[in-house]
Homo-oligomer: A and B are copies of this chain.
Amino acid sequence: MQRRHPASRTGRPRSAAADTAILAATRQALVDLGWSKLTLSDVAVRAGVAKTTLYRRWAGKNELVVDAVAELFDELTLPDRGSLAADIEGVVLQFAAILARPEARSGLMAVVAEATRDEALRERIRASIVDRQKRLVIAGRTRAQERGELPPETDAERSARAVDLIFDMVAGSVVHRTLVSNQPADEEWVHGLTRVLLSGLAASAR
């Protein structure tokens, strides 16, 4: 994740257990304290490691929280529910469930906010979270094309733009609903979202 010596063969190896303990402790600290009151000293105590160990592995609070939050989104999968609409609803509901957890809510937004002034952090977020989950959109489109629900893609660039738009619309709507409007992304709401999105995409494709 942030290996400084990719091929350091000698010396005492870094404890892998410490990594997982630190990331878990970071998430728990986000729940208990929130972003602004989270201190690396506190995380170190929770994880049962020395504070200096944290600074040896991560450059600072931003990088640590990105890694801690990124793990949360790895549990997303694309269920096969038989139709494109049902598949999308399934993914969106999973996404909403993750965003309902406090460690994701405060952590994700805070890191995005910091990233506005930190190009390296932006890149880290894009690589660790955004691009990693865009796979779901691509897989969903491919499956829908196999089913005949969507026409096969002709123009690669045009297709990439569509994937980006869908991703921003889905993720953005859910995030805004849960974090800004502060209302639950429940089944009814998700159903309305997917209906508008799908009929809009179908109509717009013509």
Contact = CB atoms under 8 A, between A and B. Distances in A.
A102 to B, nearest CB: 6
A35 B193 contact: no
How would you classify the secondary structure of chain A's contact residues: helix, strand, loop or mixed? helix
A68 to B, nearest CB: 14
A1 interface: no
Contacts of A107: 113
Interface stretch (A2-10, A48-56, A76-84, A194-202): A194-202
A168 B173 contact: yes
Contacts of A130: 180-181
A105 interface: yes
Given A200-B196, A201-B200, A102 B116 contact: yes
Interface in A20-75: 33-36, 61
Contact of A106 (B36, B113, B165): B113
A113 B116 contact: no
A203 B204 contact: no
A195 B200 contact: yes
Contacts of A138: none
A180 B191 CA distance: 24
A114 B106 contact: yes
A156 B88 CA distance: 28
A114 B35 contact: yes
Given A200-B200, A204-B192, A168 B179 contact: no
List of 10 A-B pairs having minimum Cβ-Cβ separation, nearest first: A200-B200, A172-B176, A199-B203, A109-B113, A172-B172, A196-B200, A110-B113, A34-B117, A105-B116, A172-B173
Interface of A: 33-36, 61, 102, 105-110, 112-118, 122, 125-126, 130, 161, 164-165, 167-169, 171-177, 179-183, 189, 192-193, 195-204
